[in-house]
Structure 1
Amino acid sequence: MLLQIGVQLRYAVQAPTDIILQITVPSFADQRVIHDDIAISDTLHHATVSAEEGLGERRLLRVEKDFACNYTARVEVDRPALDIALLPAVPPHQLPSDAVRYLMPSRYCQSDELQNFVAAEFGDSSGGARIAQMRDWIFERFSYVPGSSNGQTTALDTFVQRQGVCRDYAHVMIALARASAIPARFVSVYAPYVTPQDFHAVAEVYLDGTWHLVDATGMAAANQIARIGVGLDAAEVSFFSSFGPVSLQNQSVQVTVDQ
């Protein structure tokens, strides 16, 4: 699948401010950037560093005037849409070192608080079959409500409220997977059928010796997704972080299938 991505960001800046930006798509074995371009307004400093796990990149910026960024990319996604329910789990003692940290509770994914629930609700399944059951459970019982959560909302908050946006769905999926001793991480992505169009978030779980994308919102299949970056939860994969006063003026994300 070929994806055409277009992003516009505009922020008002009141004083010299540091910004961390993570919006560009990296090339992986299952996704290839055919062409991309990023245009950023005047900066006092502009450096590029590797993101979490070395997957993707962050731009470290310092600005003193209003900030503007335009990003376009054409990406080929070559990833099968597997039946995740058929994939076996990897026991914790056999995990590779880089997957172990994704078993642990994190700021937004308090998996240790959900172990009893997971055992009671999904105890008759394991591995990918359990992941599929948890994905479907979230999809069927939660309502996708823009504006119903904020930057402080955790997986436990969403679990109780039964509503949220993609970020919240991903956090609950991750927390349930980790409570089942299955490594899971947060992935920021672009996908064409997200409504309303915006940056999107999904989970990624470690099964059968590799990572697999899971979207509990039902809006993006694995073979339609272009990854931006990964992390323990949303705190590690923010598309825009400022260390000073800024205010959003405009944000536009458009992802279409390129025929």
Structure 2
Amino acid sequence: MKLSIRTELDYSLPAPADVLLQIEAAILPEQKVLRAHIDLPPVEHFARIPGHDNIGDRIWLAAAETLKVHYEATVEPVRMLARVDDLAAVPAHLLPGETVDYLMPSRYCPSDTFQNLVEAEFGGLQGGARVGAIRDWIGQHLTYVVGSSESSTCAEQTFVTRQGVCRDFAHLMITLTRASAIPARFASVYGLGVDPQDFHAVAEVFLDGAWHMVDATGMSRPECIAKIGVGRDAADVSFLTSYGAVTLNSQSVEVTEVA
């Protein structure tokens, strides 16, 4: 399957500001970027830097007045697929060093406060079976409601309100998985089937020696997803971070299947 991606951003800047963008599909063994093009306005400064864990690129811009970005790409996911529920957990003492940070609590994923809950709710399950049960529990107990959360909403608040958007579903999935001593990280992606279409967020869990995508919203599947970047939570992989005031005029994301 090949995905056609089209993204448009239009922001006004009342004063010069430094802006960090991460909207391009990452070049990775698990996905082929067959075509890509990004249009940016004239800026004072432009530089590419590696994304978190060296996955994808971030773009530094020193911009003023307006920031209009147009991005198009064709991406073919070729990642290995597995049924997460059947995979074994890696014992904590055998985890690779690069996965250990993803066991720890982070800004939006306070996993240390959920350890008693996961043992009470999922204590009879191990490894992928527990991850699958967490995914299903979130799907049964949370409602996807556009506009129901804010940029400051963390997994504790989502657990209480039982509603959110993809970002909140992913944060709760990551939190409960880390509380189960299984590494989990946040992935910013483009996903086919996401409704309404927008930047999407999924969890990635480390099982059986590899990372595996889990979309707790159920809207997209690993074979229909193009990864942008990863991080401990959404703070590490925001599509736009501004060091200065910006005003959103319009934003659109379109992901379709290439015939």
Name the TM-score, length of structure 1 as normaliser: 0.99
1:131-157 Cα offsets, whole Å, 9 max, x none, are 000000001110000000001000000
SS of 1:27's partner is coil
C-alpha displacement of 1:27 = 1.8
Per the alignment, residue 38 of structure 2 pairs with 38
C-alpha displacement of 1:81 = 3.6
Structure 1: which 5+ runs fail to align?
none
Question: In structure 1, how many angstroms separate the alpha carbons of the residues matched to 2:78 and 2:233?
Answer: 25
Per the alignment, residue 133 of structure 1 pairs with 133
1:64-111 Cα offsets, whole Å, 9 max, x none, are 121100000000111244211110000111011100000000000000
Per the alignment, residue 200 of structure 2 pairs with 200
Per the alignment, residue 225 of structure 2 pairs with 225
Per the alignment, residue 110 of structure 1 pairs with 110
- Is 1:157 the counterpart of 2:165? The answer is no
Which consecutive segments of 4 or more residues in structure 1 shift more than 3 A?
A: none
Per the alignment, residue 25 of structure 2 pairs with 25
Per the alignment, residue 170 of structure 1 pairs with 170
RMSD of Structure 2 on Structure 1 (CA) = 0.6
C-alpha displacement of 1:8 = 0.2
Alignment of 1:224-243 (within 5 A): 224-243=224-243
Question: In structure 2, how many angstroms separate the alpha carbons of the residues matched to 1:225 and 1:181?
Answer: 26
Question: In structure 2, how many angstroms separate the alpha carbons of the residues matched to 1:129 and 1:182?
Answer: 12
Question: In structure 2, how many angstroms separate the alpha carbons of the residues matched to 1:234 and 1:109?
Answer: 10
Question: In structure 2, how many angstroms separate the alpha carbons of the residues matched to 1:83 and 1:76?
Answer: 20
Letter aligned with residue 156 of structure 2: L
SS of 1:176's partner is helix
SS of 2:108's partner is coil
Structure 2: which 5+ runs fail to align?
none
Does the Cα contact within 8 Å between 1:131 and 1:177 map onto a contact in 2? yes
- Is 1:246 the counterpart of 2:255? The answer is no
Per the alignment, residue 61 of structure 2 pairs with 61
- Is 1:184 the counterpart of 2:181? The answer is no
Letter aligned with residue 139 of structure 2: F
Letter aligned with residue 142 of structure 2: F
C-alpha displacement of 1:25 = 0.7
Per the alignment, residue 215 of structure 2 pairs with 215
Question: In structure 2, how many angstroms separate the alpha carbons of the residues matched to 1:82 and 1:222?
Answer: 10
Question: In structure 2, how many angstroms separate the alpha carbons of the residues matched to 1:196 and 1:38?
Answer: 23
Letter aligned with residue 37 of structure 1: H
1:227-254 Cα offsets, whole Å, 9 max, x none, are 0000000000000011111100010000
- Is 1:142 the counterpart of 2:142? The answer is yes
Identity rate, percent: 52
Letter aligned with residue 215 of structure 1: D
Question: In structure 2, how many angstroms separate the alpha carbons of the residues matched to 1:32 and 1:20?
Answer: 24
Letter aligned with residue 178 of structure 1: R
Name the TM-score, length of structure 2 as normaliser: 0.99
Question: In structure 2, how many angstroms separate the alpha carbons of the residues matched to 1:46 and 1:83?
Answer: 42
Does the Cα contact within 8 Å between 1:109 and 1:155 map onto a contact in 2? yes
Letter aligned with residue 210 of structure 1: A
Question: In structure 1, how many angstroms separate the alpha carbons of the residues matched to 2:28 and 2:61?
Answer: 25
Question: In structure 1, how many angstroms separate the alpha carbons of the residues matched to 2:33 and 2:226?
Answer: 9
Letter aligned with residue 228 of structure 2: I
- Is 1:16 the counterpart of 2:24? The answer is no
